[in-house]
């Protein structure tokens, strides 16, 4: 991916960095969000679909078309498949999957940024609960569907939001600042029925990068695999599942789907991991 002239200016020059400090202010982010939700932004939609070769089959298109870019970006479609069953963990989204075994000292590399599990969760005690476990990282690109679902049945024990400075995730930015760890994050700790404790985390990026999750009451709300959890408004996006030691193993058939970057294309609702006693 080539760096644009604008990004090079913002991250590599003194005037650009001064401008960047203004751009990442909450007020600017809100203005960008208002524009993307306005009728004027609807003009961007046809160009965006063409540029990113977005498959619109099965998408719910309002009469008269999408009223704004955000209405398009958060478009709904019918869930094409849901492989949820006892001992089967499903993908919460369309995306590119990477699996990482969690060991002492492991750093997770997400969008070219490295950080520890403690830094990611902002909770050393919770991070320790996933030592020797498995991290499943789902990277969403512009052409992917940006609604997501719960990955497993269970009860929500904790819900946490971690505010962050929203920065671009393009490579030139990543070489200059620890971008990802400054992004907003939101996660639920779930006591699943088949896999023990699990964290499902969403990460927002770019200037807007909004995470819109359905409200839950920790300790009371049960969640079901395949049920919609929320959606991302415009911005780079990642979803992370953390599983405990020996809770699951990646489906063997997925390895054959790896691309040149070692990522596995998956679809929302597709079974991505199973317990050892799953047939």
Strand 95-101 relative to strand 134-140, pairing = antiparallel
pTM: 0.83
Mark whether 94 is an active-site residue. Answer: yes
Q: What pLDDT band is residue 112 in, cutting at 50, 70 and 90?
A: low
Each residue of 218-274: pLDDT tens digit? Answer: 878 899 999 999 999 876 689 999 999 999 999 999 988 999 888 999 999 999 999
139 and 94, same structural domain? yes
Q: Tell me, yes or no, whether 83 lies in a domain.
A: no
Cα separation values, 91 from 81, 122, 221, Å: 11, 24, 21
What was the pLDDT predicted at 167? Answer: 59
48 and 123, same structural domain? no
Looking at 46, 73, 100, which one is the last position of a domain? 73
What was the pLDDT predicted at 107? Answer: 87
120 and 65, same structural domain? no
156 and 101, same structural domain? yes
Q: Is the dihedral of CA 130, 118, 232, 99 positive or negative?
A: negative
Q: Are 229 and 223 in contact (CB under 8 A)?
A: yes
Q: Tell me, yes or no, whether 21 lies in a domain.
A: yes
What was the pLDDT predicted at 1? Answer: 42
Maximum average pLDDT range among 3-17, 30-44, 243-257: 243-257
Mean of the pLDDT values across residues 15-21?
72
Euclidean distance between CA atoms 279 and 277, whole angstroms: 6
Q: Among 68, 94, 153, 184, which one carries the catalytic annotation? A: 94
**Mean pLDDT of all residues in the chain?**
85
Q: Among 29, 37, 184, 237, which one carries the catalytic annotation? A: 237
Mark whether 237 is an active-site residue. Answer: yes
Domain encompassing residue 152:
88-274
**Measured in Å, how far apart are the chain's first and last C-alpha atoms?**
41
68 and 95, same structural domain? no
The total of structural domains in the chain comes to 2
Q: What pLDDT band is residue 174 in, cutting at 50, 70 and 90?
A: low
Whether residue 156 has pLDDT greater than 90:
yes
């Amino acid at each position: 991916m080539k760096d644009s002239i604008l990004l090079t200016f913002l991250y590599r020059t003194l005037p650009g960095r001064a401008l960047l400090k203004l751009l990442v202010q909450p007020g600017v982010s809100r203005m960008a969000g208002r524009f993307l939700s306005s009728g004027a932004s609807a003009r961007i939609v046809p160009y965006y679909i063409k540029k990113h070769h977005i498959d619109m089959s099965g998408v719910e298109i309002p009469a008269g078309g999408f009223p704004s870019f955000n209405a398009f970006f958060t478009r709904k479609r019918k869930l094409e498949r849901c492989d949820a069953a006892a001992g089967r963990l499903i993908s919460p989204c369309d995306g590119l999957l990477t699996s990482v075994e969690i060991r002492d000292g492991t750093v997770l590399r997400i969008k070219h940024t490295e950080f520890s599990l403690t830094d990611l969760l902002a909770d050393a005690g919770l991070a320790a609960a996933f030592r020797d476990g498995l991290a499943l990282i789902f990277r969403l690109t512009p052409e992917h569907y940006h609604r997501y679902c719960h990955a497993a049945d269970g009860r929500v024990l904790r819900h946490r939001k971690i505010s962050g400075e929203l920065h671009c995730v393009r490579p030139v930015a990543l070489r200059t600042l620890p971008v990802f760890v400054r992004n907003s994050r939101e996660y639920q700790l779930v006591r699943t029925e088949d896999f023990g404790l699990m964290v499902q985390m969403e990460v927002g990026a770019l200037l807007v990068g909004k995470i819109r999750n359905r409200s839950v009451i920790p300790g009371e709300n049960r969640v079901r695999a395949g049920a919609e959890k929320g959606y991302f408004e415009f911005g780079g996006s990642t979803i992370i599942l953390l599983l405990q030691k020996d809770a699951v193993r990646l489906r063997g058939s997925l390895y054959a789907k790896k691309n040149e970057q070692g990522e596995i294309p998956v679809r929302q609702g597709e079974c991505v991991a199973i317990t050892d006693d799953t047939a």
